[in-house]
Amino acid sequence: MKNKIHIGSIIKARLKERKMSIIDFSDALHCCRSNVYKIFNSDNIDINRLVKISQILDYDFISLYHDQPQIKKRFIIEITGNNMQIIDENDKCKV
């Protein structure tokens, strides 16, 4: 059994890896720096925000949750421009 993911720490590590400043990240995320620090301290996050962060940091953070025991289904998120489509991987149908 895997340990619970602390998504904020992983986002913070990816930000450092990409050598992106907190100011640039907060600007791209359209939030203030204090909210970025709140994200770093969070062990959970809104899916829409996680999708946006995945785009900004060029990393699929959602895939980190695929093999977690609390997740019953797998979903594929397709992003085209401003459109997001969620597909149930098990049924291969749109959700």
Give CA–CA dist 16/25, Å, rounded.
Answer: 11
Q: What pLDDT was estimated at residue 76?
A: 63
- Average the pLDDT over 83-93 and give the result: 58
Q: List the domain boundaries for the chain.
A: 7-94
Closest CA to 40 of 64, 6, 68: 6
Q: Which tens digit of pLDDT belongs to each residue from 50-72?
A: 999 999 999 999 888 776 555 45
CATH code given to domain 7-94: 1.10.260.40
- Average the pLDDT over 42-50 and give the result: 91
Could you tell me the pTM of the whole model?
0.68
Q: Do the Cβ atoms of 5 and 65 come closer than 8 Å?
A: yes
SS3 83: strand
pLDDT at 92 over 60: no
Q: Which tens digit of pLDDT belongs to each residue from 5-38?
A: 889 999 999 999 999 999 999 999 999 999 999 9
User: How far are the Cα atoms of 27, 35, 64, 71 from residue 24, in angstroms, in the given order?
Assistant: 5, 13, 24, 32
